[in-house]
């Protein structure tokens, strides 16, 4: 009997090893090729100068309650009008929501669903105290040694200006699109986008517009960040995570600290915080993060390829490993971050209330209500009130097989032949969410080339872009406009 069982186990192991090996070996690189095309050269210095001028205009979003930098937006609009005369004269231009811009390039075939390219004109402020850390002043727009310096060169004036540069070039070349193209530039993305992108999307919806797809900022080309892959990878985000801030308030009896109860309001909040950190939401590898691994697996070293090609068996191991990292953890989990705690005023007085502010970033498929239920269950304290301070649900997941994705992918292969292309999940938020009501497919990608230290420049210190890369970005949009025009 024992012999029979060990024989059976031996057989199962051999079969498993066989399946794993087969799945690993047959998971090879897709050889469909797209030929690189040589785009006509552009005047890089003139384009760089225009972006640098835009950087000097302080279109800063300071907060939802702060006044809008109206005069600065007026200056930026004027710069755009003067810099791109063909766009100004030949496209329909509308100012929406006070300072956002919507351009319409009417196509000749109204049966084709339009495409919308987007970006935002506002920037975040420089964190007080860090001004001196900038190699070149944040709003100087200095051009030096092939680099354009300043706020907005990565996020996101470069998208706005690169799209306009591309449109100007195509207008000069006499392009007559079959499909209608929209260019939409918001003025309040950094504070939620309700008054800009929100209003533009509502306006288009009112006009009955249904878009084939939208392309916004979001993910970029990264190199040296994916284990085992040396080639740069262009990540097209199919979705963005949701955003939720909860306020936890503990209420107990106040009084004198000489006769304290066993637990104070602060103790209750401390306990709740500790429980939340010890009981994170569960990790799982789902779309679009799983699509990314499936797409990139053939390019990975054998050991990693073996694990990813055999997720039917090894998924728990993979998810466990991903859950340990910082960025990889954020790809597989709705994250929990306690960002503010507050309680107590005097050393001999019992506080009657204490609060904790907790920020969550929700994976697609997880709802705000799910997180509230998790927090209620984990904290398990009737004296703690849980309320929503701010929240928006995660986005839908756009199609990786649809026309829009294929078009963006093809344009990347044509204009940036050295990079791999993969779907991805955007960990932060963008204006794209506002367009979900008029398009099923919202993609988020700008071909900025990021090394390991570049992510910290976004919203941080020493934001800057290489002119060579800026030219690549313009050429990408230039070709995309042509491809999308039909």
The active-site residue out of 155, 168, 188, 189 is 189
Least distance (Å) between residue 155 CB and Zn ion: 4
Report in angstroms how near the CB of residue 175 gets to Zn ion at its nearest.
28
CA distances from 158 to 74, 148, 479 (A): 18, 10, 17
Residue owning tokens 């390991």: 452
Give the Cα separation of 327 and 429 in Å (integer): 15
* Alpha carbon of residue 248 to chain centroid: 28
Q: Name which of 126 and 307 has its Cβ closer to Zn ion.
A: 126
Token pair of 433 as six digits:
């969410």
- What is the C-alpha to C-alpha distance for residues 199 and 183, in angstroms, rounded to an integer? 14
State yes or no: is 294 an active-site residue: no
Look-up of token digits 């956002």: 100
- Nearer residue to Zn ion within complex by CB, 333 or 464: 464
CB closer to Zn ion, 141 vs 192: 192
Place of tokens 């100007």: 168
Minimum distance of Zn ion from residue 217's CB (angstroms) = 5
Decide whether 156 or 482 has the Cβ nearer to Zn ion: 156
Q: How far is the CB of 311 from Zn ion (least distance, A)?
A: 33
Least distance to Zn ion, CB of residue 218, Å: 8
Distance CA 219, CA 47 (A): 23
* Chain positions contacting Zn ion, by CB under 5 A: 155-156, 217
Least distance to Zn ion, CB of residue 469, Å: 17
Which of 119, 141 has the CB closer to Zn ion?
Answer: 119
Half-sphere exposure of 96 (CA within 13 A, CB side): 25
Residue closer to Zn ion, measured from CB, 333 or 433: 433
Task: Show contacts of 264-268: CB within 8 Å, 24+ apart.
Answer: 264/350, 264/351, 264/354, 265/343, 265/350, 265/351, 265/352, 265/353, 265/354, 265/383, 266/343, 266/344, 266/351, 266/354, 268/354, 268/381, 268/383, 268/384
We find the least distance from the C-beta atom of residue 399 to Zn ion, in angstroms, to be 24
Q: Is residue 242 a contact partner of residue 371, using CB atoms and an 8 Å limit?
A: no
Selecting among 72, 122, 217, 454, the annotated active-site residue is 122
Q: Is position 454 annotated as part of the catalytic site?
A: no
Distance, in Å, from the CA atom of 59 to the CA atom of 74, rounded to the nearest integer, reads: 9
Looking at the Cβ atoms of 156 and 454, the one nearer to Zn ion is 156
C-beta of 190 vs 482, nearer to Zn ion: 190
Residue 447 backbone dihedrals phi, psi, to 5 degrees: -75, 50
Query: Within 423-466, where are the H helices?
Result: none
Do 358 and 272 meet the contact criterion of CB atoms below 8 Å apart? no
H or E segment and range at residue 75: helix 70-83
Give the contacts of 280 (CB within 8 A, at least 6 positions apart): 333, 335, 336
* Residues 6 or more apart whose Cβ sits within 8 Å of residue 31: none
Check: CB of residue 341 under 8 Å from CB of residue 356. yes
Q: What is the DSSP string of 120-161?
A: E--BPPPPTT-GGG-SS-TT---EETTEEESTTSSSSHHHHH
CB of 238 to Zn ion, least distance (A): 18
Catalytic positions: 122, 189
């Amino acid at each position: 009997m024992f012999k029979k069982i060990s024989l059976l186990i031996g057989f199962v192991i051999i079969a498993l090893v066989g399946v794993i090996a087969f799945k690993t070996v047959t998971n090879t690189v897709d050889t469909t090729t797209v030929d690189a095309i040589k785009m006509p050269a552009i005047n890089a210095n003139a384009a760089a100068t225009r972006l640098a001028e835009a950087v000097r205009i302080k279109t800063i979003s300071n907060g939802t309650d702060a006044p809008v930098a109206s005069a600065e937006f007026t200056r930026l609009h004027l710069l755009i009008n003067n810099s791109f005369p063909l766009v100004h004269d030949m496209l329909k231009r509308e100012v929406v929501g006070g300072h956002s811009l919507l351009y319409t390039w009417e196509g000749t075939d109204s049966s084709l669903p339009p495409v919308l390219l987007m970006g935002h004109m506002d920037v975040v402020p420089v964190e007080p105290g860090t001004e001196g850390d900038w190699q070149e002043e944040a709003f100087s727009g200095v051009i030096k040694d092939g680099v354009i310096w300043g706020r907005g060169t990565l996020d996101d004036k470069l998208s706005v200006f690169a799209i306009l540069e591309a449109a100007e070039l195509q207008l000069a070349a006499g392009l007559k699109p079959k499909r209608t193209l929209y260019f939409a530039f918001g003025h309040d993305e950094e504070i939620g986008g309700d008054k800009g992108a929100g209003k533009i999307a509502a306006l288009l919806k009112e006009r009955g517009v249904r878009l084939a797809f939208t392309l916004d900022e979001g993910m970029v080309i990264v190199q040296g960040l994916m284990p085992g892959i040396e080639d740069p990878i262009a990540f097209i985000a199919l979705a963005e995570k949701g955003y939720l801030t909860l306020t936890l308030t503990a209420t107990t009896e106040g009084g004198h600290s000489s006769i304290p109860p066993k637990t104070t309001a602060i103790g209750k909040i401390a306990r709740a915080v500790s429980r939340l950190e010890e009981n994170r939401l569960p990790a799982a590898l789902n779309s679009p993060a799983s699509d990314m691994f499936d797409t990139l697996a053939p390019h990975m070293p054998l050991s990693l390829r073996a694990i990813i090609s055999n997720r039917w068996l090894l998924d728990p191991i993979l998810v466990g490993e991903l859950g340990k990292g910082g960025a990889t953890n954020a790809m597989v989990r709705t994250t929990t971050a306690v960002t503010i705690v507050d309680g107590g005023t005097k050393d001999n007085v019992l506080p009657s209330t204490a609060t904790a502010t907790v920020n969550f970033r929700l994976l697609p498929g997880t709802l705000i209500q799910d997180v509230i239920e998790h927090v209620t269950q984990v904290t398990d304290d009737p004296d703690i009130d849980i309320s929503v301070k701010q929240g928006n649900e995660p986005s839908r997941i756009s199609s990786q097989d649809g026309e829009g994705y294929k078009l963006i992918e093809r344009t990347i292969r044509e204009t940036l032949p050295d990079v791999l292309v993969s779907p991805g999940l955007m960990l932060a938020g963008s204006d794209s969410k506002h367009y979900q009501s008029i398009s099923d497919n919202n993609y988020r990608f700008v071909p900025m080339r990021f090394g390991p230290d570049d992510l910290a420049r976004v919203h941080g210190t020493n934001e800057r872009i290489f002119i060579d890369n800026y030219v690549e970005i313009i050429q990408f949009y230039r070709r995309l406009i042509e491809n999308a025009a039909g």
